[in-house]
């Protein structure tokens, strides 16, 4: 096998059989002494090209497979921002409208970011508040809507944690 490869790489032989007959006579006389150097250099040139091709291919594949570090970083920020909305910290029902507005603003900002930077499946996963959910009534809630929203936020935080831990959701859908 190595003999076949070496025969294919024998540049002086290829030169004398295929290139030299096509060249004018005075060119052949001038190039002939340098054909010997081609045999010595060819394996090194081929090795350099093969190494470059392997490294370039690895780089391109790795670029497509590796997770963008900005995705989990931003998801973690959204996760931390959600802490005030996941607790029953309201003292009275008067605080509820402002808390609800802030909760909805956080939710909308997070959904918008996921829509822009991740896949539609990730948005669906993030917004799913009904799968594997056990709703528990908490006496610390100022009203039923507050209780439902805190339970939903906690489920959404769980979904957000899944998005942080699993890069399968990262792939942005290609729109044609």
Q: Which of 34-38, 58-62, 120-124 has the highest mean pLDDT?
A: 120-124
Banded pLDDT at 176 (limits 50, 70, 90)? very low
Q: Are residues 51 and 75 in the same domain?
A: no
Our count of domains for the chain comes to: 2
Residue 154 phi/psi, 5° resolution? -65, -40
- Whole-structure pTM over 0.75, yes or no? no
Q: Which of 7-11, 33-37, 136-140, 149-153 has the highest mean pLDDT?
A: 149-153
Task: Supply 17's token pair.
Answer: 């059989």
Residue 8: how many other CB atoms lie within 10 Å: 12
**Domain carrying residue 27:** 2-65
Q: Are residues 57 and 88 in the same domain?
A: no
Q: Are residues 54 and 74 in the same domain?
A: no
**Contacts by 134-141 with C-beta closer than 8 Å and gap 24+?**
138/88, 140/88, 141/88, 141/90
Q: Are residues 40 and 125 in the same domain?
A: no
pLDDT 10s digits, 99-132: 999 999 999 999 999 999 888 889 999 988 876 6
pLDDT 10s digits, 146-161: 888 888 898 999 999 9
Q: Are residues 48 and 81 in the same domain?
A: no
How far apart, in whole angstroms, are the C-alpha atoms of residue 19 and residue 30? 13
Q: Are residues 142 and 78 in the same domain?
A: yes
Q: Are residues 59 and 76 in the same domain?
A: no
In a domain, 175, yes or no: no
Q: Are residues 45 and 87 in the same domain?
A: no
126: number of CA atoms within 13 Å, CB side? 24
């Amino acid at each position: 096998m190595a003999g076949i490869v070496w025969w294919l790489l024998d540049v002086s032989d290829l030169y004398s059989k295929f290139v030299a007959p096509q060249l004018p006579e005075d060119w052949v006389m001038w190039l002939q002494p340098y054909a010997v150097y081609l045999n010595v250099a060819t394996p090194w040139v081929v090795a350099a090209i093969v190494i470059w091709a392997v490294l370039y291919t690895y780089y391109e594949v790795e670029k497509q497979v590796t997770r963008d570090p900005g995705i989990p970083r931003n998801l973690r920020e959204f996760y931390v921002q959600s802490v005030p909305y996941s607790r029953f910290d309201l003292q009275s029902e008067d605080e509820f409208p402002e808390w609800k507005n802030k909760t909805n603003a956080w939710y909308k900002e997070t959904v918008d970011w996921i829509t822009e930077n991740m896949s539609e499946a990730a948005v669906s996963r993030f917004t799913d508040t009904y799968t594997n959910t056990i709703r528990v009534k908490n006496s610390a809630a100022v009203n039923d809507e507050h209780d439902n929203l805190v339970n939903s936020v906690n489920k959404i935080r769980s979904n957000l944690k899944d998005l942080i831990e699993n890069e399968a959701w990262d792939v942005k859908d290609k729109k044609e």
